[in-house]
Structure 1
Amino acid sequence: MSSILSWASRRAGGLAMIALLGLSYWVISSELETQRYSYQYQQQDSLSAPSHQPRRSAFWIQFFAYYCLLIHVLVAMFPMRSCWAIWDITRSVRKMAHSKALQDVKFSHRRRGSSTSLSSAETLTSARDFSASSSEAGDELEYLVDSDIATDSVIHAIIVPNYKEEMDSLRETLEVLASHPQARDTYDVYLGMEQREKNVELKAMSLVSEFVKKFRSIDFTLHPSDIRGEAAGKGSNVAWAARKLSERYSLQARKNVIITGIDADSHLSSNYFALITTMHLNYPETANTTLYAAPIIFDRNADKVPAIVRVADILWCAAGMSGLYSGSTTAPPTSVYSLPLELVDRVGGWDCDNESIGEDLHMYLKCFFALNGNLTCRTVLSPVSQTNVTAGGHGKGYKGALADIQARYKQAMRHMWGALDTGFALRKIVELWKERKHTSRAFRPLHTSVDANSDIYVPEPQLDTVNSEAVPESGIFSDVTQGTLMAPNYTRIFYLFHRLFEAHFLPVQMTILIFASTGYTWVAGGENDPHGIAWIFTVSNVLRTLGFMQVACYLFLYEQFHKTCLAAREKEMIDAGLAKGMNFSHRALKKNFVDYVLVPVVAPIFGSIPCAQAQLSHFFTLDLVYTVSKKVTRQRAKSLSAELLV
């Protein structure tokens, strides 16, 4: 029975799609049959009152109508929440940009003994306790620490997973990180490389030697190519790097170590890490059960991709930002996120199987259910700059545009392949219900497990001497931590499944119902409404129109968000001396008016169609081949190290 439930949960989206198609066919065919027989009966004896039995399909017709109404309500809710979120985030980011408090935070810039090595992943084997020094803070403000708190006591372990990424793209990302004033004191950078990539060690060593003096430490890890069940990709590289870096921090030091996973093309402001440090220190009661997420923005090559690709990414921003508004408790991250090392220990690190291709949402779900739904989510008011997906088609006519669209569709498939996470969440909620009476959970540091798939949790009966405040000084359980669990938060769990339904079910369900409801109203026709449901389809049409109007409103609000974020990034890059040759995609309402017109086209091409394809594919395979998208970098001559790799 459990294997059947496991199989069904992994294909929940596809099963729901087939069920809705079956229901739609039944309802329309039943109504069509009723209309035909009713017509023939009236022709034979028009003076007699009809005396047929109530139709068996009446219940399902009403169910179909009310389900159609529910889906349209959800469709109208999403852009409404997105509009509120982008307005709230823009207002907060603008307030942050005008504040000088973060700029006043001073870092000592003392260079500690370098822990950098030019070797492979095998060098990350010794556990060391990195000391931290104090620094002065600026004026006290809402988001900042008091002046007596050592802001550089928090170490940021930054993982940059990459597989066949261009050298210049990685170098540019590292240069942006190195330009931050706190980089030399608090950034431990780990390049999560893939062993199966050709000349990968030479590539990694070149980058490490180039940036050895610009970070607190920099190293690289090589994800082995022979681990069964693990494929090349971001998730497996992050997982391997996290297990290796875990060895470097002692039990005491890891309490203030925060891991950040970024894409190879992500440009982060120094404010991103400063704000996380502040929140980590200001909220000690939830410091180690908090996940930090930031909005993303595509502001580097948006003017060099087809409008349809640009709009698809803008709407993808909407999906990410829709949970990041003030007061939101359900905030799945998009691409870039941070979480404390102790939380990573608690959940056993990142998964690497075929269900975790969307590693950001998957890790969020692991943390969410490990804490019984009591995961704390905090928004980092420092948008992350990303590049639009491209196949290098700019300036190559319609063939180049088609290549870019095809590259974006492949990325949409990767996004929609994440529907497997709904099944993962369904299995986790079953586990949570079975374990709902447990009040604590014991765990060990991530690297102490024998292999990536072993269970690092410790049976509670064996931990009578262990408590959440202290651990034994010696013995087999000397590295065990026991954390107290709060009761399941069913309200948050309900909100989570609403968001999962919205992401993985709604695009296909909405498309099916648009055609099915249109077909039903055409078949039913006339003024006769025996089920009293005609008003539902009228309201659904209004909600559908309202939804498109709200998407247009979101695009209008996005103009100011894009302008605010781009101005802040451009200023920071100019101050850091990195602006020359860097891409800044400015927007103008008149110039980008076509974006508003393309919304009805973008939704099915990059939403409904890849979602349906992914869910149908899950009946045959759960594997998806990971492909690397082309990134845009600064226009400059190739470096010597890049040439050596050719």
Structure 2
Amino acid sequence: MLGWVTRCLPGFSIIGLVLLLVCAFSDILKSELWKSYFPPSKNPAQGGFWGGMNIAQSIFVVYAVLIHIHMLGFTLRLGWSIFRATGKAKTALERRIWYTPLPSPQSEDEDYIQQPVSPISMSSVDSLISKNLKTDVTVSEVVEEELVHAIILPNYCEDLHTLETTLKVLASHPRAKLQYEIYLAMEQKEDTSSDKAGHLLSKFEKSFLHICSTFHPSGIKGEIAGKSSNVAFAARRIVEIHRDELNEDSCNVVVTVMDADTHLSRDYFTEIRRLHYAHLSEADRSLYCCPIIFDRNSHESPVLVRCADLLWGFAGLSTMYPGTMISIPTSVYSLPLSLAEKVGGWDSDPTAIGEDMHMLLKCYFETAGNVISRVVYVPASQCNVSSDRGHGWRRSMDTLFARYRQALRHMWGALDSGFAARRSLGYLRFHKRCLFLRPRHFALLELLYEAHFLPCHLTIIMLFSVIYTLLTPAAQMHPTLAWAFSVTDIVRGMSFVGMNICLALYERWHTLCLNARMRDMREANLPDTGCSQRIWYKPQYLLDRIAFPIAGTLFGAVPTIHAVFAHFFTDRLVYRVSKKPTFILDAVALA
């Protein structure tokens, strides 16, 4: 019973909000029974600011103002995060010196030749440091031992071309053959999974230190097909391979989980190595996360899809400002294999469908709230969903429906709020310690509220406010209610202006990251990875400045309401993969 109640918390909160509105503004207030329990003041002037209002109306006023202030606070935090991320990303992209032996000569029949990184002498390092460049490179960083990166590439019904392109990008990294272990996390029940795995293994077997495939069996009780179960199954294989190192407490393996269409820069792995050795005493409880950027096909996407993905990226980026107590990973993250084993690996039950946030929460509770989330300011490049059906408006409509299915899958992750509630209560019961007294726990709960409660609550209150003010003459409205509606209108306007400022800041960050990725693609001779520039004064991008509230409602609030009410009946969602675009040679991008 407790499990059902906690998983339905977001749904219960919506029901509670609707009941609050009914109690505050419906004719039920005219009944004598209601007035006997909650008598309003006979004269508004007698009670001052709250005079003439019942308890439900007072609660509504307070909550409406607070939730709008929260929305404005998110906007301010996001602007600060984007501003700081731009500077941090520039610094990280300039930090491209390290010591590594030259790769061994590759055979002539290899498809992808790695770009060698020449060893640098200690004198050259001293020279660079003495010039006070903004690279934060230290001598100890250059001579430290290397990490092994175990990269899990989960896929279920993904297009073969998408997987090939992702592996090509990874194979182009200078350290791929020396330090990258690739695990193709397949689903056994997919008819073509074996053929796809065989093709990819034969094509890339000489491009990495190690590459193999795992096949998550179907029909395991309590598990579902999808990213979380595929990752969990592949992670168990990684633990088996590195069991001796784990037993000897000498495991130098960092696990990275990514989406099938994600393109990671070589600087992402370099930054993890730098952060690992810069905070070595805390490395065994560090989880690394990075922003995501949709810079491959957004220029071809319908404006609402483009805005929805912008807001999805903003949600994660807003938690990654310097000094944040905890950051929420979106799609891509890394953690030491020792930490993953310590917390019992990845969950594969239905509640873990939001596998990125779920793994952070699991690490948080298993370490008694002491996990450290470190931000890697090198963004992961991703695609907007696409469609290959029809042309023109028919294709756009199909893309919109595909994006809604993806949004529903994202919002199904609201199950994590119930998971966090159960673990918080369980921690108090079994460990006799209250995590609620820690500021960090309050910060985590606030982020969960922001992700799974705020979008639908805000939308309901906004719609109600508009309808109520249209139907109620100003002369008949209580002065306090009129004040609340006036304040929330002003705050909404400020938030709209703030989001436009965030979009202006985003243009610079997007350009910086896109240019860096395209330079790498030119050097690696990979012309078909997609390039989506943002020219702010073009009409399609100016349209983003006014369309984002609509996109946020259609692909944020609506699927959240859809998901949380579905949770009253089931916690299982049929995992459907959204179509990704296929790119062709882009001569302009490579020029």
TM norm structure 2: 0.87
1:617 to 2:566 alignment: yes
SS in 2 for 1:419: helix
1:22 is aligned to 19
- Give, as a single letter, the amino acid of the residue that structure 2 aligns with 1:13: P
1:153 to 2:146 alignment: yes
What is the rounded CA distance, in whole Å, between the counterparts of 1:544 and 1:516 in structure 2? 14
Deviation at 1:291, TM superposition (A): 0.5
Aligned pairs for 1:194-343 within 5 A: 194-249=187-242, 250-251=245-246, 252=248, 255-343=251-339
**Structure 1 stretch 167-176 or stretch 550-559: which is displaced more?**
550-559
What is the rounded CA distance, in whole Å, between the counterparts of 1:587 and 1:507 in structure 2? 27
2:532 counterpart (580, 585, 590) = 585
Aligned pairs for 1:22-61 within 5 A: 22-30=19-27, 33=30, 58-61=54-57
Structure 1 spans left out of the alignment, 5+ residues: 39-48, 113-133, 439-485, 637-646
Deviation at 1:143, TM superposition (A): 4.5
User: Is residue 191–residue 220 contact of structure 1 (8 Å, CA) maintained in 2?
Assistant: yes
What is the rounded CA distance, in whole Å, between the counterparts of 2:386 and 2:374 in structure 1? 31
What is the rounded CA distance, in whole Å, between the counterparts of 2:403 and 2:353 in structure 1? 17
- Give, as a single letter, the amino acid of the residue that structure 2 aligns with 1:431: G
Deviation at 1:26, TM superposition (A): 1.5
2:70 is aligned to 74
1:8 is aligned to 5
What is the rounded CA distance, in whole Å, between the counterparts of 2:281 and 2:88 in structure 1? 24
| Distance change (3 Å), C-alpha of 1:154 and 1:30 | same
Aligned pairs for 1:132-531 within 5 A: 138=125, 139=128, 143-147=136-140, 150-249=143-242, 250-251=245-246, 252=248, 255-392=251-388, 396-436=391-431, 490-521=438-469, 525-527=473-475
SS in 2 for 1:156: strand
SS in 1 for 2:139: coil
2:504 is aligned to 556
What is the rounded CA distance, in whole Å, between the counterparts of 2:90 and 2:135 in structure 1? 14
What is the rounded CA distance, in whole Å, between the counterparts of 1:167 and 1:529 in structure 2? 61
User: Is residue 160–residue 262 contact of structure 1 (8 Å, CA) maintained in 2?
Assistant: yes
- Give, as a single letter, the amino acid of the residue that structure 2 aligns with 1:587: R
Identity, in percent, stands at 40
Structure 2 spans left out of the alignment, 5+ residues: 36-44, 106-118, 586-591
- Give, as a single letter, the amino acid of the residue that structure 2 aligns with 1:577: N
- Give, as a single letter, the amino acid of the residue that structure 1 aligns with 2:227: K
| Matched positions, count | 547
User: Is residue 428–residue 435 contact of structure 2 (8 Å, CA) maintained in 1?
Assistant: no
Deviation at 1:148, TM superposition (A): 6.8
- Give, as a single letter, the amino acid of the residue that structure 1 aligns with 2:25: I
What is the rounded CA distance, in whole Å, between the counterparts of 1:558 and 1:495 in structure 2? 25
What is the rounded CA distance, in whole Å, between the counterparts of 1:433 and 1:595 in structure 2? 46
What is the rounded CA distance, in whole Å, between the counterparts of 2:143 and 2:163 in structure 1? 31
What is the rounded CA distance, in whole Å, between the counterparts of 2:382 and 2:159 in structure 1? 15
What is the rounded CA distance, in whole Å, between the counterparts of 1:419 and 1:148 in structure 2? 40
- Give, as a single letter, the amino acid of the residue that structure 2 aligns with 1:619: F
SS in 2 for 1:247: helix
What do residues 86-112 of structure 1 show as CA deviations (whole Å, max 9, x unaligned)? 111012112333x2x42x213214559
Deviation at 1:184, TM superposition (A): 1.2
SS in 2 for 1:73: helix
TM norm structure 1: 0.80
- The structure in which a higher percent of residues are helix is 2
SS in 2 for 1:218: strand
What is the rounded CA distance, in whole Å, between the counterparts of 2:386 and 2:415 in structure 1? 26
User: Is residue 105–residue 136 contact of structure 1 (8 Å, CA) maintained in 2?
Assistant: no
User: Is residue 154–residue 230 contact of structure 2 (8 Å, CA) maintained in 1?
Assistant: yes
2:551 is aligned to 602
- Give, as a single letter, the amino acid of the residue that structure 1 aligns with 2:150: A
SS in 2 for 1:20: helix
Deviation at 1:635, TM superposition (A): 2.1
What is the rounded CA distance, in whole Å, between the counterparts of 1:295 and 1:387 in structure 2? 14
- Give, as a single letter, the amino acid of the residue that structure 1 aligns with 2:385: V
| Distance change (3 Å), C-alpha of 1:28 and 1:574 | same
> Which has the larger Rg?
1
| Distance change (3 Å), C-alpha of 1:488 and 1:522 | closer
Deviation at 1:256, TM superposition (A): 1.6
